[in-house]
Amino acid sequence: MDAVTLTRQLVDIESISGNEASVGNYLYGELCRLGYQTMKMPVEGDRFNVYATSTGHPNPAVVFSTHMDTVPPFISSSEDTANIYGRGSCDAKGIIAAQIAAAERLRRDNIHVGLLFVAGEERDSLGAKVANEFVAAGKIKAGRFLVNGEPTENHIALASKGTLRVEVTARGRMAHSAYPELGDSAIDKLIPALTRLRAMPLPSDPEIGPCTLNVGLIEGGRAPNVIPDYAHADLLYRLVGPSEKLRQQIAAAAGPDVEVTFPLELPFLRFRKIGGLPTMIARFTTDIPKLTNWGEPLLIGPGSIHVAHTDGEYLEKQQLADAIDLYCQIAKQLVS
Residues marked as catalytic: 121
- For the chain, helix, strand, coil in percent to 5 are 30, 30, 40
Residue 266 CA to residue 158 CA, distance in Å, equals 17
Using an 8 Å Cβ cutoff, are 69 and 119 in contact?
A: yes
CB-neighbour burial class of residue 276 (10 A; exposed 0-12, middle 13-18, buried 19+): exposed
Three-class SS state of 244:
helix
Could you tell me which of 240, 251, 164 has the C-alpha nearest to residue 202?
240
Direct distance between the N- and C-terminal alpha carbons of the chain, in angstroms, rounded to an integer: 25
Amino acid letter, 49: N
